[in-house]
A and B are shown apart, each in its own frame.
Chain A
Amino acid sequence: MNKAQDYSTDGAEHHHPAAPMVEEITDFEVLEIAVRELAIERGLFTAEDHRRFTEFAESVGPAGGSRLVAKIWTDPAFKARAMENPVKACLEIGIDWSKPTGFGTPSDYTHLTILEDTPTLHHVVCCTLCSCYPRPLLGMSPEWYRTTNYRRRLVRWPRQILAEFGLILPPEVEVRVEDSNQKCRFIVLPVRPAGTENWTEKQLAEIVTRDCMIGVALPRPGRTTDVHPIQKARRPVHSSSAQCERHSHERSLQ
């Protein structure tokens, strides 16, 4: 038996190796605590408020969105309800947009739209103002989503940005960018990929990753994570440059 095996179930030895930790207290850590405690002292919020929002932040992730998409793909009646009233339909998969305050977080709510892709229409979501994001369904936004690089350029050159994510769409596919704001949130409903016929909801949910629901990736069988081992390109090409050229060409034709 491996020494690292957990023997705790029989009350015997417990040999987990300790996970590595950063063993120094940085001023950033101290600053975060100090600002928070002073805000609490001022009465700006309470420690209980903070605990609740921390719990909320740590409890949300993209799994809810994956379940929503998978259920829409497999259940036409649910799809009809979801497209009609997405927030209400989310309750059916255990996502309550009113948490944690009873009316959501002020920065998360109040209108959700499901953007349905088709073979000739692709949606991608951003927030040009700040970083509005459907947190109850997708969890916390990725850092790149918050950058001005993504936010400014996506609305101008969506194909270029998508190509930088490795998503190159043919010219016949229209790309539509939806700009979130404090009261309107969006999630992309990708086209169900071929090769997933007869799959269960659980199987389907596994290939609907966060990036697919933002619109910077497409679901496909075998792709169950947004993080992949890097594979050597067989025909290296700067895809975004190629897209730029195509984009310029398209514009010149208009």
Chain B
Amino acid sequence: MSARSNVDFSRIALLEAIRSQENTWDVLAPRYGVTNPNPPWKTSLTAMCDCLDVSGALPTLDRRRAEDELAEAVYSDVPAPESQLLALAHTMLNRGLVSEGELASHMRIVRSRLEAV
């Protein structure tokens, strides 16, 4: 198997708050009668991972190692693809590609945009 990724397993408050809401796709989809097995953002997540790989910012092998380890150690109770998304954000925060403060702030901006009427 692969070498360790050096990912920091410390819990990240912002991601813990998201995880704790328990509104993963496997819960939401049946509630709304939706049969698509994946949430609409899954393909976008896949593309983002490809882009990070292409740019060299986060090579696939590093990302997948970290994802495996985080999925076992930190996000073991979260289903895919939400666990993949949390692991990606966790890894990017660890690597300083984004900061927790700016991510929280930008999430507020994105939410207000999506909720705008």
Residues of A in contact with B (beta carbons under 8 Å apart): 20-39, 42, 44-45, 49-54, 56-58, 101, 105-107, 128-131, 140, 143, 146, 148, 152, 182
- Check B51 against A39 for contact (C-beta < 8 Å): yes
* 9 CB < 8 A contacts A-B: A27-B111, A32-B44, A33-B41, A42-B98, A45-B54, A49-B55, A53-B48, A54-B44, A130-B64
Give chain B's interface secondary structure class: helix
Q: Does B73 contact A (CB under 8 A)?
A: no
Q: Does B2 contact A (CB under 8 A)?
A: yes
**Contacting residue for A27 out of B21, B25, B51, B98, CB 8 A:** B21
- Check A35 against B65 for contact (C-beta < 8 Å): no
Known: A22-B28, A39-B57, A148-B72. A28 touches B107 (CB 8 A): no
Give 6 nearest A-B pairs by CB, closest first: A130-B64, A53-B47, A45-B51, A54-B47, A20-B33, A107-B60
A30, A52, A56, A57, most chain B CB atoms within 10 A: A30
Contact partners of B53 in chain A: CB under 8 A: 105-107
Q: Does B70 contact A (CB under 8 A)?
A: no
- Check B110 against A129 for contact (C-beta < 8 Å): no
Contact partners of B45 in chain A: CB under 8 A: 32
Give A26 to B21 CA distance when docked, in angstroms. 9
Extra A-B contacts (4), CB below 8 Å, given A49-B54, A50-B44: A22-B25, A27-B21, A28-B41, A39-B92
Could you say which interface size class chain B belongs to?
35 or more
- Check B51 against A131 for contact (C-beta < 8 Å): no
| Min CB–CB distance A140 → chain B (angstroms) | 7
Known: A35-B48, A107-B53, A152-B1. A28 touches B103 (CB 8 A): no
| Min CB–CB distance B66 → chain A (angstroms) | 10
Q: Does B7 contact A (CB under 8 A)?
A: no
Q: Does B97 contact A (CB under 8 A)?
A: yes
Give A181 to B46 CA distance when docked, in angstroms. 18
- Check B61 against A182 for contact (C-beta < 8 Å): yes
| Min CB–CB distance B35 → chain A (angstroms) | 8
Interface residues of B in 26-76 (CB under 8 A from A): 28-29, 31-34, 39-41, 43-48, 50-55, 57, 59-61, 64-65, 68, 72
**Contacting residue for B47 out of A25, A57, A130, CB 8 A:** A57
**Contacting residue for B23 out of A26, A45, A143, CB 8 A:** A26
Known: A22-B32, A129-B64, A130-B2. A146 touches B54 (CB 8 A): no
Contact partners of A22 in chain B: CB under 8 A: 25, 28-29, 31-32, 34, 39
